[in-house]
Structure 1
């Protein structure tokens, strides 16, 4: 059986991972500014194996509206271009022979609202994950043997305090991304 401190530490660690997952999901949402992170989930089929785009090329942002992808092997240009086109990012790569340029168009108001909606869904998923972790932690607190009811109540209160802290972090992360998208 675990003690109260280890249950709380485990809950805190797992809730932290939920926040990391949220930040990872939000990083791929396009905000109107060029950000190499939007290509993070693009997978390139290269010589029969699939790998993330950042393992076959470098991605730079020379200005606020352009991404430049320079493959380490020129043979990867075609597969990289195809992977970007096939992704659901709505980007149109422009092959210049040894590099690929992607010009990011201005986001329309409708597209911005869709992105905020997606961000809101990611935030809600993170809140649900945090609540599930809280439920698990509360169940564990109730199973601790050799402690009185007062100690169990304190443990439950501490788990709730941790949960409130992480829910606030989810909300803060979402609102920051929302402002970034709405510009």
Structure 2
């Protein structure tokens, strides 16, 4: 019997001890099943050398991105915020656009806010209207432009820069 089957049996035996009816003895509640699944996944991910860096409560998307990174199908881009904080986001290696980068930044920030249990809503429309993404003194203006056209590759650094109003533009 492997470890996750053992966890399931232990959880099931706890339910048998607590419940009185036949139905309670044979099934787990939803909460108990979620708990068993989370602990089993955490143990399995902790044992895998490729996935050990992933945080608790990992999503399927994060696991897929980590596997794609290890296989060389994706790249990591460091995003430098104005307050000095650095975020690492993952985008596809080939054909990635500025829009893909913006979506990856959004996913990263939303996951981080959810994990810190902060209920804060960001207006991404406001963020992109008031800030530029910069790489090597180039504004990443066009959402459909390829990242490679700007010279962005694996482990490149991109900065958030406050937009200044241009003369002659309302």
TM-score bin (small chain)? under 0.3
TM-score by length of 2: 0.26
Question: Relative to total residues, which structure has the larger helix share, 1 or 2?
Answer: 1
